[in-house]
Chain A
Amino acid sequence: DIQMTQSPSSLSASVGDRVTITCQASQDINNYLNWYQQKPGKAPKFLIYDASNLEKGVPSRFSGSGSGTDFTLTISSLQPEDIATYYCQQYDNFPPTFGQGTKLEIK
């Protein structure tokens, strides 16, 4: 199985900060990577597909980049409603696998 490693595991930032979360795959997954946002007590929500394409309705302060094994989720200006745990997921190889999550908190 492809291992997905996210860093950091947790992150504390201030409102307005630029926040970056990284996701590394154990082998080349092209750009077959999704990002999900899970708010406390809620189910995950589909955020970004094919590494860099925003799902409809997702604020433009979110962006994704990367290809191959290294990927990044960036929030350009952190808002209070962005407090959540973020997960990456590869769908290049079976079985689909997730990163362990990055918990984002407000400082």
Chain B
Amino acid sequence: EVQLVESGGGVVRPGGSLRLSCAASGFIFDDFGMSWVRQSPGKGLEWVAGISWNGGIITYADSVKGRFTISRDDAKNSLYLQMNSLRVEDTALYYCVRDRTENNWFDPWGQGTLVTVSS
């Protein structure tokens, strides 16, 4: 069974940092691109960052470019999101998602990890 399990969320002050992790299992991790998608009450679903199957192509939403860094460790079947200079508007549930086709078909999704940015 394909499974994605996120961790690392929490409460952080504006300007602070967090590192999210996603442990993947049930599929050949280095065959697939991966992304982070977030969900907040005010902005719905928002794609945040993506990394290709070999790590050669990395892309970001304009809203996080320069502050967030996506990476992967294929030896550990893991995806990461380093989030720096966090803002109140980054508050959301962050999902790790597999890109099934390298065309942004998001399937499946993890259960999400909650990030709250508040003073």
Contacts and interface: CB of A to CB of B under 8 A. Distances in A.
B109 A43 contact: yes
Contacts, number: 48
B95 interface: yes
Contacts of B47: 95-98
B107 interface: yes
Contact of A98 (B46, B108, B110, B112): B46
B25 interface: no
Interface residues of B, number: 19
Contacts of B107: 46, 55
A72 interface: no
B105 A45 contact: no
B65 to A, nearest CB: 11
A98 B95 contact: no
Interface string B84-119: 000000000001000010011111111110000000
Contact of B112 (A43, A95, A100): A43
Interface of B: 44-47, 59, 61-62, 95, 100, 103-112
Interface of A: 32, 34, 36, 43-46, 49, 55, 87, 89, 91, 94-101
18 contacts: A34-B105, A43-B108, A43-B110, A44-B45, A44-B95, A45-B108, A46-B105, A87-B44, A87-B45, A89-B104, A91-B103, A95-B61, A97-B47, A98-B44, A98-B45, A98-B46, A98-B47, A101-B45
Per CB-CB distance, the 8 closest pairs between chain A and chain B, nearest first, are A46-B107, A43-B109, A98-B45, A91-B104, A96-B104, A96-B47, A100-B44, A95-B47
